[in-house]
């Protein structure tokens, strides 16, 4: 069975973008692949997080993983800091990554371009830790949204270089990006990715949003003045995004949805999208409330950490040997 690994960094509440671009796919893949899914808590602290809030977000994220359908009997679910090998291999990866490579990472470039103050060294070397996350588990595939493709490609470069230098050590993983829903856009500004860090809060639907609030965000989503329901991503990006959201959640093709609503007003289509989204959120939220106050989370996480450690420690030992870090008695 091929192995898959992915992580989510819950710096805020998980969003509909995370669900469509990542989580929902993990659930689909867990029947066909050996699935490892972790909460990337070390990645969260590349920027300051209020400690109590961070801890709550981590708990919420685990409960949401389960509520979205990840099954601990099929998938290994764990917290990054429960597997100490991530931090050590992350450092080793940083020693095998060139500054030029990190300087090219668009996520980092975007942040520096915005002139944000107090950017940390952790944010800069974040792709090295991400490479370690993946390579520790000899993953074949890494299912991610479009924005993470560049990081997985860097992981491949680092792995290949390491293998050439020290002999075959790592499996070189491939990114797996869904055809529909890999980049859900903000509802208030369809030129930007729907993001947890949305300042206005209007463009982003959170998985735990009150259903009325979620509906309102969709009904007031920015569209265009063309007034025709069709697929024109360039000139009608807001409309395209709404159709893509509905298509991802229903498994109907985007064309099929266009055919149903062609010739009608945007309001009808928005109502349909809101119905689809709210039905999905309601299912997730009901399960989330059943799970959040149980001891289930502790058990699942400690079981997951045990399984993950078994593989990760073996890889790390192999790497330490290859590099010559071990003393031979
Ligand atoms: P931020 O929202 O602050 O930019 P993020 O949501 O990209 O952060 P993660 O939570 O770690 O960061 O992302 C988890 C997964 O969700 C990644 O695979 C990412 O590509 C995917 N993802 C995030 N936002 C979207 C989106 N708008 N559309 C599709 N996939 C997304
Ligand atoms: N960088 C990713 C989260 C992440 C990840 C990973 C995804 C951290 N480590 C390993 C896949 C595999 C993000 O910001 N979305």
pLDDT given at position 196: 85
pLDDT given at position 45: 96
pLDDT digits (tens, 9 = 90+) for 60-101: 999 999 999 999 999 999 999 999 999 999 999 999 999 999
Above 90 in pLDDT, residue 111?
Answer: no
Find the residues whose C-beta lies inside 6 A of ligand 2. Answer: 5-7, 9, 40, 43, 130, 133-134, 142, 144, 148, 151
pLDDT given at position 294: 85
Q: 326 catalytic, yes or no? A: no
Q: Find the ligand nearest to 64 CA.
A: 1
Q: Find the ligand nearest to 15 CA.
A: 1
pLDDT digits (tens, 9 = 90+) for 135-147: 999 999 999 988 8
pLDDT given at position 181: 84
CA distance 34 to 2: 6
Confidence band, pLDDT 50/70/90 cuts, at residue 107:
confident
pLDDT given at position 115: 83
CA distance 171 to 88: 18
First to last CA, the chain: 38
Confidence band, pLDDT 50/70/90 cuts, at residue 329:
confident
Please give the C-alpha separations between residue 301 and each of 42, 136, 151, 159, 295, in angstroms, as whole numbers. 16, 18, 26, 28, 10
Q: Which among 147, 149, 244 is the best mutation to test ligand 1's pocket, defined by most ligand atoms within 8 Å of the CB?
A: 147
Above 80 in pLDDT, residue 123?
Answer: yes
pLDDT given at position 283: 97
CA distance 289 to 11: 21
74, 149, 171, 196: which is the annotated catalytic residue?
196
9, 193, 217, 270: which is the annotated catalytic residue?
193
Above 80 in pLDDT, residue 199?
Answer: no
Helix (H) / strand (E) containing 7: strand 3-8
pLDDT digits (tens, 9 = 90+) for 16-53: 999 999 999 999 999 999 999 999 999 999 999 999 99
Percentage of the chain modeled with pLDDT above 70: 100
196 lines ligand 1 (CB under 6 A): yes
Above 80 in pLDDT, residue 241?
Answer: yes
| Selection from 213, 201, 200, 189 nearest residue 274 by Cα | 213
Percentage of the chain modeled with pLDDT above 90: 88
Above 90 in pLDDT, residue 197?
Answer: no
CA distance 93 to 304: 24
Q: 111 catalytic, yes or no? A: yes
pLDDT given at position 114: 85
When pLDDT is averaged across residues 111-132 and rounded to a whole number, the result is 93
CA distance 223 to 267: 11
- The whole-chain average pLDDT of the chain stands at 95
pLDDT digits (tens, 9 = 90+) for 247-284: 999 989 999 999 999 999 999 999 999 999 999 999 99
When pLDDT is averaged across residues 146-151 and rounded to a whole number, the result is 93
pLDDT given at position 265: 94
CA of 277 to the centre of ligand 2 (A): 25
Domains of the chain: 3-177+295-323 (3.40.50.620), 211-289 (1.10.240.10)
pLDDT given at position 225: 94
When pLDDT is averaged across residues 170-183 and rounded to a whole number, the result is 92
């Amino acid at each position: 069975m091929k192995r898959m690994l992915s992580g989510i960094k819950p710096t805020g509440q998980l969003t509909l973008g995370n669900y469509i671009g990542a989580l929902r796919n993990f659930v689909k893949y867990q029947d066909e692949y050996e699935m490892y899914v972790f909460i990337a808590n070390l990645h969260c602290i590349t920027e300051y997080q209020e400690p109590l809030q961070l801890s709550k977000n981590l708990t919420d994220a685990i409960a949401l993983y389960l509520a979205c359908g990840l099954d601990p009997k099929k998938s290994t679910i764990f917290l990054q800091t429960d597997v100490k090998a991530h931090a050590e291999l992350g450092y080793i990866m940083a020693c095998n990554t060139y500054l030029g490579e990190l300087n090219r990472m668009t996520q980092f470039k975007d942040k520096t371009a915005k002139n944000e103050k107090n950017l940390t060294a952790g944010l800069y070397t974040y792709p090295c830790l991400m490479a370690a996350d993946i390579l520790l588990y000899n993953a074949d595939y890494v299912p991610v949204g479009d924005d993470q493709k560049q990081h997985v490609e860097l992981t491949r470069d680092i792995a290949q270089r390491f293998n050439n230098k020290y002999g075959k050590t790592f499996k070189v993983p491939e990114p797996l990006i869904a055809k529909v829903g890999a980049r859900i856009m903000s509802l208030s500004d369809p030129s930007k990715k729907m993001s947890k860090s949305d300042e206005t809060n209007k463009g982003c639907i959170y998985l735990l949003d009150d259903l009325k609030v979620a509906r309102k965000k969709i009904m007031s989503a920015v569209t265009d003045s063309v007034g025709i329901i069709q697929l024109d991503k360039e000139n009608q990006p807001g409309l395209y995004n709404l159709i893509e959201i509905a298509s991802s959640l229903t498994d109907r093709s985007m064309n099929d949805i266009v055919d149903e609503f062609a010739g009608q007003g945007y309001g009808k289509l928005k109502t349909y999208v809101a119905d689809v989204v709210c039905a999905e959120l309601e299912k997730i939220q009901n399960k989330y409330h059943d799970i959040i106050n149980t001891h289930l989370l502790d058990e699942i996480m400690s079981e997951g950490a045990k399984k993950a450690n078994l593989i990760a420690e073996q890889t790390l030992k192999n790497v330490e040997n290859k590099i010559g870090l071990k003393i031979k008695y």
